[in-house]
């Protein structure tokens, strides 16, 4: 779980345009569909959005923080689905958010102090965005990745059901064995899941991200009980809630189509997950099953790149060659730590072994960070 959400899910209608807008011409790229960036004046107590009725298409918000607290700016669709966000805007700074918005009603939010619901405002988008004829290879990328999401979410649901049943039956050994397996399917598509506002922290929140007034629930709560006290007798309701939340997110994920640009950013975001949360052992601090997540993130990233592959081979064949080599390099480095059908515990790795993994992830993540621009051009 991370607090940033890299993938911005657009509704299906926006699919053809997002990521291809850059082809549409400089003047469009530079501003907003109906003329110039929209100024957002954020302070500690207010969030003034320059225009709140816009035409569909790409919109640029210029957020200026005049407050004393660090702030964030979000555009939410119904149900607090994140359409776009810009984080960590320090006092006095101006930051830009580019977002592709199809017709619909949205909410804007400034979050001074980076917590809570934020200062909300309504945003209305109408009309249809001018679309560029989508590249066939890119269109296929979306369909291909959608099939991947469907397969992973099906398995996520099945394995979560088994895990929840084991927890409720008080079978600690079985629950421990199922825990990293169920999470594998989650971790493969994590950036997709993370874009659904409140569900992600409920399912995958770590103890330190739980805010006041919110309960520590989900996978990591049960992980803590399983591996610290071994007492899961009171975890029945938490397990039930986990299953409810997973069902909800599975339904939402399958209803969404990711744009090629979102796929590219998702492939990178998954490696960022590895670099910041798994290498350090932060994610699975009680079970130490971080290498399961590492492998799942890597597989998910590879799947997103695989979906984009036909387009990348047309546009940047040398990048594909480099990615193939670096994926193979990480797989070799990680493969040393296999343990039967699973993976060694994070705590079993020496610092030198972790550094080797970190180096290999960095070597892969740098070229992967170039994919988005290739897809967008």
Residue numbers at the binding site for other proteins (CB under 8 A): 19, 22, 29, 98, 261, 264, 326, 355-356, 358-359, 362-366, 369-370, 372-373, 375-377
Shortest separation between residue 366's beta carbon and other proteins, angstroms: 5
Contact 44, 112 (CB under 8 A): yes
Strands in 81-89's sheet, in edge-to-edge order, are: 53-55, 119-126, 104-110, 71-77, 81-89
Q: What is the DSSP string of 125-154?
A: EES----PPPPHHHHHHHHHHHHHHHHHHH
Contact 110, 118 (CB under 8 A): yes
Residue with Cβ nearer other proteins (164 or 368): 368
Residue with Cβ nearer other proteins (165 or 374): 374
Shortest separation between residue 344's beta carbon and other proteins, angstroms: 21
Helix ranges restricted to H, 7-135? 26-30
In terms of Cβ atoms closer than 10 Å to its own Cβ (0-12, 13-18, 19+), residue 351 is exposed
Shortest separation between residue 73's beta carbon and other proteins, angstroms: 16
Beta carbons within 10 angstroms of residue 212's beta carbon: 6
> Dihedral sign, CA of 326, 355, 227, 203?
negative
Residue with Cβ nearer other proteins (22 or 130): 22
Helix (H, G, I), strand (E, B) or coil at 377: coil
Contact 102, 10 (CB under 8 A): yes
Residue with Cβ nearer other proteins (253 or 372): 372
Residue with Cβ nearer other proteins (56 or 364): 364
Shortest separation between residue 78's beta carbon and other proteins, angstroms: 27
Shortest separation between residue 77's beta carbon and other proteins, angstroms: 21
Shortest separation between residue 28's beta carbon and other proteins, angstroms: 12
Residue with Cβ nearer other proteins (40 or 371): 371
Distance CA(149)–CA(156), nearest Å, equals 10
Residue with Cβ nearer other proteins (274 or 364): 364
The H or E element that residue 193 is part of is: helix 190-194
Shortest separation between residue 32's beta carbon and other proteins, angstroms: 13
């Amino acid at each position: 779980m991370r607090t940033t959400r890299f993938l911005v899910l657009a509704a299906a209608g926006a699919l053809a345009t997002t990521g291809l807008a850059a082809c549409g011409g400089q003047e469009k790229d530079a501003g907003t569909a109906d003329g110039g960036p929209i100024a957002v004046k954020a302070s500690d107590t207010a969030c003034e959005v320059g225009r709140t009725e816009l035409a569909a298409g790409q919109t640029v918000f210029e957020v200026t923080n005049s407050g004393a607290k660090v702030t964030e700016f979000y555009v939410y669709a119904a149900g607090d689905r994140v359409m776009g966000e810009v984080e960590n805007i320090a006092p006095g700074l101006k930051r830009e958010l580019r977002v592709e918005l199809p017709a619909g009603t949205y909410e804007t939010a400034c979050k001074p102090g980076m917590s809570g619901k934020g200062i909300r405002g309504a945003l209305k988008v109408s009309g249809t965005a001018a679309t560029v004829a989508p590249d066939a290879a890119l269109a296929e990328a979306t369909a291909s990745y959608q099939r991947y999401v469907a397969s992973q979410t099906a398995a996520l649901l099945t394995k979560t059901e088994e895990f929840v049943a084991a927890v409720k039956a008080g079978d600690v050994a079985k629950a421990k064995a199922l825990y990293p397996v169920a999470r594998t399917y989650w971790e493969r598509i994590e950036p997709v899941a993370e874009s659904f506002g409140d569900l992600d922290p409920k399912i995958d929140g770590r103890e330190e991200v739980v805010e006041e007034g919110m309960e520590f629930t989900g996978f990591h709560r049960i992980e803590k009980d399983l591996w610290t006290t071994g007492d899961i007798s009171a975890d029945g309701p938490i397990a039930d809630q986990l299953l409810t939340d997973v069902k909800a997110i599975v339904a939402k994920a399958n209803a969404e189509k990711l744009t090629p640009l979102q796929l590219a950013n998702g492939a990178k975001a998954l490696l960022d997950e590895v670099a910041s949360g798994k290498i350090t052992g932060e994610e699975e601090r009680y079970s130490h099953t971080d290498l399961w997540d590492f492998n799942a993130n890597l597989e998910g990233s590879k799947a997103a790149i695989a979906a984009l592959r036909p387009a990348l081979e047309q546009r940047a064949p040398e990048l594909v060659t480099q990615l193939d080599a670096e994926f193979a390099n990480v797989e070799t480095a990680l493969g040393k730590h296999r343990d039967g059908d699973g993976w060694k515990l994070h705590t079993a790795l020496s610092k030198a072994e972790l550094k080797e993994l970190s180096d290999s992830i960095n070597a892969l993540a740098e070229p992967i960070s170039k994919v988005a621009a290739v897809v967008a051009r």
